[in-house]
Structure 1
Amino acid sequence: MDNIPKMTVIRQCLSLLPTLSPTCVPLDYGVKKLRTLALLQLSVTAHLLRWESYREYAWQLDASPDLQELLGLPSISASQVSRRMNQLPTALLEHLFYALTHLIKNLSRPASSGLLQRVGRLLLVDASCLKLPAFLSDWARVTRDRCGVKIHVSYAVTSPEHTFVQHMVPSTGNVSDYEGSDLLLHEEEVTYVLDRGYVCYERMDRWIEGGLNFVMRIADHHQANVLHEHPVPEGSRILRDATVQMGSGYTAMEQRVRLVEFTDEKGRLYRIVTTQWEASAEDIAEIYEHRWLIELFFKWLKQHLRLVRLQSTQPQGIWNHLYLSLIAHALTLYIRYTQAPEKTEWEVLKRLRIHAAKEHTWEEFIQELNRRPTRTSKGRRKTGAKRRTPTLDHPVAYTKAVNEKRIVDRKQKKAGIEQNKNNK
């Protein structure tokens, strides 16, 4: 990575984006101020630094001479950003996202041991709902009282240390999970991991005929006609391993699948159907347990990039917001895998925000990101002493012991408050 001397953190992050200048030229016809390239750079910066509104875009630009010089934009208004964001072609952001995904994918290496070495790459497929205000979003109405959109994602797991978003499809909230899967399931040399929302016998037959491998959880009410029982290891958590045909009558599947039933550490039952015939039943259970990684990814997006609060109520503005969030996530991943692979995504993003706010150089950011602790500690040692129970008596707090009976009568409750005031 060739760094320009004195290049700030934000300048270096934006330099990692694929070049789009020739593509942006036709889109700027008639645009006098906020050109497409400047809009892209400003928006990516906003998502990396978690600016929560278009108005904050304007405030932050006014406060940063470095960003003004980079964008060639001394000032901007929130209404200009909103108008241009709702006009920006989503295909441009989609191209940018997949270009970054390609870079991240090239950094991955196949697992040399363990489950992923035996079964190959996993693609976790799931969807997450994002709410919209009902009085502004009739076009995204799901029920009478709820409006929203969905983000359908396939999340690649190539090794225990290397995961990334491979595909994303935005949709309105009334698109079911298995309808979204039609655009996500198409690779033959991977294993797709899906939850109960993707059960559709017609599609499952089509996937098998197309040579796709999947591991899918089914609900308790899904009927499985057992054709052959396979031996189960004694003393394991595997309860059943069988060849089955799903459904009954005219709704039954034409193809046969493998049914594996197991319990987790809390005793909860999982029923899994799969096309993985060579893997052991224990491996099938472990494959499905990897599905939790995509749930953590959705939580990361909503918690650290504030994806729960969309900045537009127009379709194109929302699709653009979703892709910009994934671009910010992909940039964070790329920096982590190339500069600090031992750090977590959150540690990299948090340090990036701290150094960007102070307009530190890229070298200072990388040096701090990889700084080793100067002092070592074994941590607090366990002594076996009983933990001291804190006292609840305090002049400014109204407290009750844990086992004390709750006061239901209002007169008794009022008397207790008065007594507490008198004690003060």
Structure 2
Amino acid sequence: MDKFTRNTSFEQWLSPISNNLFEEQVKVYQLNTYTKKLYMASFLKLLLYAQLQETESMRALSDCVFSEELQNAIQLETISFSQLGRRLSQVPTEFFQTIFLDLVTQIHTKTDFQTRRKTTTPLKIIDSSTLPLNLNNHKWAKFRKTKSGLKLHLRLVLMEKGCSYPDQSVLTNAHKHDRSQLEVLVDDKECMYVFDRGYLDYERFDCMTDEGYCFVSRLRKNAVVRKLETFSLPENSSVLSDEMIVIGTTQNRAENGFRLIKVLDTKGNELHLLTNRFDLRAEEIAELYKSRWAIELFFKWMKQHLNIKKFYGQSEQAVHNQVYIAMITYCLNVLAQLNTKSTRTYLQISRFLKAALWKPAHIWLRKIGGNTVP
């Protein structure tokens, strides 16, 4: 218990970030070279503090350093908002991306991802969400006459009991089409991929099938299909039809045969689901597609509770860095839950952390449901 008493709750929350990896990356990118005051360790803590407190600007973050507890945590008494802004624009996004991916690896380990994949097929959900930007400040992200935006392409791992976490991401301008990232986000043949109709690409579907990747997607109702075979359904099935089809016109047609399953959603709308899995029951395929809702909930949670509504910097690098800091924050909450075997939600964990930020770590750990961290 003593080692947790010496740590504040904030320090304990940050502890999954590997010091060795952090120092290694700082040296690789020479981020502390010629630095006189704002070293990367202090800067990262400030950015994560800003995420927790949903601090609206660099000026507001600079004012927060007036707090004696924060001064002790970052080893700084004052810092100007202009220094913070310059630093955010100078740090390569790869630095924060590396930290994010290391936290993902830790989550994989804590959830026995490699062990689970030997007995079950892990489910990975792919989707994207557009983050609006101010056109006057972010002209580099213009995608309409009056709008700028950044698109976050994300792959979400769905765990048991509905828990989920991001394990891969790509940031592009909002005008970039979703299907352009499918090849990047599909890279594991032992997983099942679920994505929406924005990723429709007949040629890519053929390649995925030939290479052994499994997927469930949604087909547009006006898609040209040719029925090859109709599969029987059990009595009282919620599935409307189950067929083997060929999709596309003569000029643009998939070479492989796929499975088309028609079901009704909760509002009574007919959904056309496309998959290359013929070994599962139609009802199971429908349930797999319903799990796609988890990534919608993730994006909603992220936009509501992480600080990506207002961006601190105007440059592309500054904006990308802030998004990765937000995802690092999310992963730290996931690890806090896993390490303590807590039944608290990520939002509760975050709220209790803010309430006990500078108190001894054991107070926060006990509140969220655990006394020690492995």
**Under TM normalisation by the shorter chain, which class is it?**
over 0.9
Does 277-286 or 181-190 show the bigger shift? 181-190
Equivalent residue number for residue 97 of structure 2: 94
> For the structure 1 residues 110 and 90, does the alpha-carbon distance in structure 2 shift closer, same or farther, using more than 3 Å as the test?
closer
Report what 1:327 is aligned to. 328
User: How far is the alpha carbon of 1:197 from its aligned partner?
Assistant: 0.3
The corresponding residue for 1:24 is 26
Tell whether the 8 Å contact from 2:4 to 2:360 is kept in structure 1 after alignment. Answer: no
Contact 1:123 1:192 in 2 (8 A): yes
Aligned to 1:362: 361
1:53: Cα distance to partner?
1.2
Work out the CA distance in 2 between the residues paired with 1:159 and 1:311: 36
Q: Kindly tell me: are residues 2 and 249 of structure 1, through their superposed partners in 2, closer, same or farther at Cα, counting changes over 3 Å?
A: farther
Distance in 1, matches of 2:282 and 2:120, equals 12
1:66 to 64, 69, 75: 69
Q: State whether residues 355 and 365 of structure 1, in contact with CA within 8 Å, keep that contact through their aligned partners in structure 2.
A: yes
Distance (Å, rounded) in 1 between the aligned partners of 2:151 and 2:275: 26
Cα contact 1:17–1:96 (8 A) shared by 2? yes
Measured after TM superposition, the shift of residue 204 of structure 1 is 1.1
Cα distance in 1 between the residues matched to 2:249 and 2:45: 55
Structure 2, unaligned runs of 5 or more: none
What is the distance in 2 between the residues matched to 1:271 and 1:82?
48
What residue in structure 2 maps to residue 402 of structure 1? none
Separation of aligned partners in 1, 2:351 and 2:273: 38
Query: Gaps (5+ residues) in structure 1?
Result: 372-424
Question: Displacement, 1:328?
Answer: 0.2
1:35 to 33, 39, 47: 39
Out of 103, 108, 112, the position equivalent to 2:111 is 108
Number of paired residues?
Answer: 366
The residue correspondences of 1:292-307 to structure 2 (distance < 5 A) are: 292-307=293-308
Structure 1 position 6, deviation (Å): 3.3
| Superposed displacement of residue 60, structure 1 | 1.4
Maintained 8 Å contact 1:24/1:37: no
Map of 2:56 onto structure 1: 52
Percent of aligned pairs with the same amino acid: 27
- Give the stretch that moved more between structures: 2-11 or 26-35: 2-11
Contact 2:16 2:335 in 1 (8 A): no
Residue pair 2:342, 2:369 contacting (<8 A) in 1 also: no
| Contact 1:62–1:75 (8 Å) recurs in 2 | yes
RMSD: 2.1
Q: Deviations over 1:44-90 (max 9, x none)?
A: 22212322211121121112x23212322111111110100000011
Matched, 1:172 2:173: yes
1:332 match: secondary structure: helix
Aligned pairs for 1:22-421 within 5 A: 22-25=24-27, 26-63=30-67, 65-109=68-112, 120-356=121-357, 359-370=358-369
Note closer, same or farther for the CA distance 1:225–1:207 as it changes in structure 2 (3 Å cut): same
Render the CA deviation track for 1:261-285: whole Å, top value 9, x for unaligned: 1112331211110011101000000
- Given that 1:120 and 1:158 are in contact with CA atoms closer than 8 Å, whether structure 2 keeps it comes out as no
Asked which structure has the greater CA Rg, the reply is: 1
Secondary structure of 2:189's aligned partner: coil
Q: 1:109 to 1:161 in 2, by over 3 A?
A: farther
SS of equivalent to 1:3:
helix
Q: Which amino acid aligns with 1:8?
A: T
CA distance in 1, matches of 2:185, 2:166: 12
Question: Once the 2 structures are TM-superposed, how far is the Cα of residue 14 of structure 1 from its aligned partner?
Answer: 2.2
Taking the aligned partners of 2:267 and 2:134, their CA distance within structure 1 comes to: 38
Q: Give the whole-Å Cα distance in 2 for the aligned partners of 1:52 and 1:106.
A: 34
Contact 2:227 2:245 in 1 (8 A): yes
Deviation string, structure 1 residues 188-244 (Cα, Å, up to 9, x no partner): 000100001000111111111221110001121112211111002222110111111
